[in-house]
Amino acid sequence: MESFSARVVRSSRRRAEVFADAYRRVAPGVLRVSVGVLYLWFGLPKFFPGTSPAEDLATRCMSLMTFDAVPPGVSRFLLALMEVAIGLGLVTGLLRRLTLTVFFVHMTGVFATLVLLPNDVWAHGVPPVPTLEGQYILKNIVLIAACLTVATRERQVPAPRQDPEAEPVVAEAPQISRSRAVR
């Protein structure tokens, strides 16, 4: 006869598996909406001068990237517009490819700050240690990972669940004829 604790463990594992299977199907959408909410949260204050802690750093970096062709007030507005558009696109799921493209372009600019304004984002020393502003930028690695997951997984149909006791199925790679491979 099975003990009470063994039944509890078995039941807990079964519930965890059911939850994991259900969450696996919606995880890319949860990531997409979560990143979208963050973009709205950080983008909206940039419409109002002096309300975003990253405003000064972002506008100075944009000035450097545009060789001072874009004034700080305009760059702040453009950054706010870009971030809010990314946020809305991610939250709604509309124009997903365009939204993700703009997101990755934005991330390129964000990470350019690490090189263009090193005195603001790195403390001097060996090894270099990020300042609070540098940490603010580096945390975006997680957002990039989330959006890579969204870009590659959200449209996939989940594979049917296999019996955990069954042998794993290994698909063979398609064979390419030599005549096609030489081209």
How many residues does the structure list for the chain?
183
Rounded to whole angstroms, the Cα distance separating 112 from 45 reads 22
Rounded to whole angstroms, the Cα distance separating 50 from 48 reads 6
Rounded to whole angstroms, the Cα distance separating 143 from 137 reads 11
pTM of this structure? 0.74
Q: Which residue has the tokens 């002096």?
A: 50
56-65 residue pLDDT tens: 999 999 999 9
Q: What is the pLDDT of residue 173?
A: 46
What would the DSSP string read from start to end of 95-156? THHHHHHHHHHHHHHHHHHHHHSHHHHEESSSS-EE-HHHHHHHTHHHHHHHHHHHHHHTTP
29-52 residue pLDDT tens: 999 999 999 999 999 999 999 888
